[in-house]
Amino acid sequence: MSDDTIRKLPVRKRPELGSDRMLAPVTGTRCFHTHGFLVDDRASEVTCAACREKLNPMWVLLQLMHKESRWHELHARYQDELKRLNERERTKCQHCGQMTRISHR
């Protein structure tokens, strides 16, 4: 292949990025804010009980809402399972493999 058939494409140099940034990440803490909250109702502020970082009250409210929703779902599943187990009349014996009556005491 000869150099006559190779065509060089124009290459533009990228502009230099300065050290000044419009957006910069916040240095994150290692705390996930799951150890409880300190609520100051007079100042309308919420603080993490573990790392003492001030938190957004709306974020805290959302976290509590998610925990409560999970708790209600778990409780409903538990109640359904109890109802299902109470309706059973027979189970398989671990020793002989035969079906045995369940005594509901």
Q: How many CB atoms lie under 10 A from the CB of residue 46?
A: 21
Nearest CA to 57 among 68, 72, 76, 44?
44
- Choose between 40 and 23: higher pLDDT: 40
Q: Of the ranges 7-16, 22-31, 43-52, 85-94, which one carries the lowest mean pLDDT score?
A: 22-31
> 41-85 pLDDT, tens per residue?
999 999 999 999 999 999 999 999 999 999 999 999 999 999 998
